[in-house]
Amino acid sequence: MSTNPPAGPRRVAVAAVFLASVGASTAEADVPPRVAVLEEPAPPPPGPPRVSEAPAPPPPTQPEYSLPFQLRPASAATVVRSDTSFMRYEDANANGGFTVATTLLGSWKVPGTGPAGYGLAPLVRFAAVNDSPPSSVMTGGGFAVVNPLAGAVYALPLGGGFRLAGFLGMTVPVGMGGGNSPNAGEADARNAGAWARAELDNSLFAVNDWATIPGIDVAYVGHGFTVQAEATLFELVRVRGAQVQHEATKTNFTAGLHAGWFATRMLSFGAELRYQRWIDAPFTVEQGKTSVDNMTFAVGPRLHFPLGGSSSVHPAVAFSRGMDSPLAGTMNADIVQLDVPVVF
């Protein structure tokens, strides 16, 4: 008699175990795999949106001022300026002569007297001249250091692009070619030098006279343009040379207009009209031996170069001609001016 259990119940048990294992596998398959989730940072607290700061715009630049050729600058600055005129001229027989008249100016802007370009600026100016006259002049020409000048400029803004500058100066009568027995070559040189400077600087070459010089300039500067007007009075008093210079006093007046335009920040062009007239004339003028007045014009370019810091150099070349006698008449003079101011 067999002892094994009946086949039917054992098969049922095996089937139950198999179904249970299959069901467990199926249940595990239905569970999705774990996925690592990165936590997002917490949102920022509510508030106004952040706005990035834009860089501040650069400060506006000052309008460019066109320096005149022979008129005074309507500004106050620390400057060293070399200014030389070369004049080719003729005598009545078309014999040629040549004059070189040079000046050196130094000015110092007094700190605290005004903003940039304005305030008080004392100055000194020295001049020398060499003349090689036509062969008809028997003196043979010569060289002379003429009167020095000392003075001051005070410039102030008027608003709306306008500015005003007042000037007061004097010359000291220590120049060569003066006195009762002047050297003929030195006297010739100083006389020719006044013409080479378009007679705007007569007091420098009046070596027998002490001169007091008040003047005024008004200018408009804006939109790349400069327009300037000037008037100056010269009161000259003789202090030596009475035997050869008979007038004890004389009075001279000069005026001018300057217009300048900046083509670029480094290049400008200028034009100038100058007028000189004797109010109380020397005897030689009153006797008709020379002209009572004189008008000239000048045109030319000027360059502008920064030197570092607040320093800059502004070289210019100008061509000048007379508009009446004698510069445009018997002298037939052509004048070229080389002007080199260095501003600190």
Mean pLDDT of 121-148: 92
Whether the predicted pLDDT of 57 surpasses 70? no
pLDDT for 186: 96
Q: Do 239 and 83 meet the contact criterion of CB atoms below 8 Å apart? A: no
The confidence band for 262, taking pLDDT boundaries of 50, 70 and 90, is very high
Note the pLDDT tens digit of each residue in 210-235.
999 999 999 999 999 999 999 999 99
Q: Do 249 and 264 meet the contact criterion of CB atoms below 8 Å apart? A: no
Mean pLDDT of 247-264: 97
Amino acid in position 133: P
Amino acid in position 239: V
Predicted model pTM: 0.81
| Partner residues linked to 107 by β-bridges | 79, 123
Q: What is the CATH number of domain 79-343?
A: 2.40.160.40
Whether the predicted pLDDT of 36 surpasses 60? no
- The b-or-e profile of 138-161 (16+ CB within 10 A means b, else e) is eeebbebbbbbbebbbbbbeeeee
Q: How many angstroms separate the CA atoms of 232 and 52, rounded?
A: 58
Show me where the domains of the chain are located: 79-343
Q: How many angstroms separate the CA atoms of 69 and 230, rounded?
A: 12
**Which residues, including other chains, have CB under 8 Å from residue 233's CB and lie 6 or more apart?**
213, 214, 215, 251, 252, 253
Q: How many angstroms separate the CA atoms of 315 and 59, rounded?
A: 27
The confidence band for 33, taking pLDDT boundaries of 50, 70 and 90, is very low
Helices (H), 46-201: 184-196
What DSSP state is assigned to residue 58? P
pLDDT for 136: 75
Please tell me the least confidently modeled range out of 100-109, 130-139, 159-168, 249-258.
130-139
Distances (CA, A) of 209 to 178, 201, 202, 235: 9, 13, 10, 9
Whether the predicted pLDDT of 109 surpasses 60? yes
Please tell me the least confidently modeled range out of 52-56, 109-113, 187-191.
52-56
Angle (CA) 213 340 167, round 5°: 20
**Which residues, including other chains, have CB under 8 Å from residue 80's CB and lie 6 or more apart?**
104, 105, 106, 341, 342, 344
The confidence band for 60, taking pLDDT boundaries of 50, 70 and 90, is very low
Whether the predicted pLDDT of 299 surpasses 70? yes
Mean pLDDT of 239-266: 96
The confidence band for 42, taking pLDDT boundaries of 50, 70 and 90, is low
Whether the predicted pLDDT of 12 surpasses 50? no
For 255-323, the DSSP string reads EEEEEEEEEETTEEEEEEEEEEEEEE--HHHHTTSS-SEEEEEEEEEEE-EEEETTEEE--EEEEEEES
